[in-house]
Amino acid sequence: MNIARLRAALRPWLVPAKPVLDALGRWRRRIVYIRYGIEGIAMELRRTIDCSAILREYGATVGPATTIFGPLHIMNADRDFSNLTIGHDVYVGTDVLIDLADRVTIGDFVSIGMRSNLITSFDVGPGPLSERRPRKQGTIDIGNGSYFGTMVTILHGVTVGEEATVGAHCLIRKDIPARATMITEQARALETQPSESAGRPGSE
């Protein structure tokens, strides 16, 4: 019996058991929180498929019909995820990183591609470089209906206007106006080497 058939056969038994399994999961996470704090819960987000319920459970505001695929990487949360507000009908792809040193607000109908990064802080650490590069942080606000391609990075203090489009691999350091489109330079050939057969007698 393959996995799909096994799941179909077990579904009538698993659906009634879901509330019990969910309750057991909440109790287990409470123990994790007591032992490891919010960092322990952040680790749970890296091992789950749909992260919405855990985010709500620990202080984030997440609207209905929102899908947040794990693993989700939450950094610099302080006691809970209350710095995170996500609207309704939002899609967050897998492997996204969200820095909650400051507030992150994601509007309704937003789509964030996989492996994107929302970075609210800059900190070089306690070494000598800190004198020339002091710590900075700021909120990130993403307007309704915005779209981010894969591997987009938004830095601290940035506001993204409504219905903005941000192409794959963009690094955004300044505010984006509503309905603007941001893209990076696409790959291009600097030179083309001739093939080994070019110029040989009998070559076509």
Domain map of the chain by residue range?
A: 37-182
pLDDT recorded at residue 104:
98
pTM above 0.75, yes or no: yes
Nearest residue to 94 (alpha-carbon basis) of 73, 63, 77: 73
pLDDT recorded at residue 76:
96
pLDDT recorded at residue 10:
63
pLDDT recorded at residue 113:
97
Give, rounded to a whole angstrom, the gap between the first and last alpha carbons of the chain: 55
Pick the CATH number of 37-182 from 2.60.15.10, 2.160.10.10, 3.40.190.10, 3.30.470.20: 2.160.10.10
Q: What stretches of 35-81 adopt beta strand conformation (E)?
A: 61-62, 67-68, 73-75
pLDDT recorded at residue 97:
98
pLDDT recorded at residue 27:
84
Residues of the chain with pLDDT under 70: 1, 6-8, 10-21, 195-204
**CB neighbour burial string for 14-47, b if at least 16 within 10 angstroms, e if fewer:** eeeeeeeeeeeeeeebeebbeeeebeebbebbee
The tokens describing 187, both together, are 């790959």
Q: pLDDT tens digits for 90-128? A: 999 999 999 999 999 999 999 999 999 999 999 998 989
Q: Max Cα separation, the chain?
A: 77
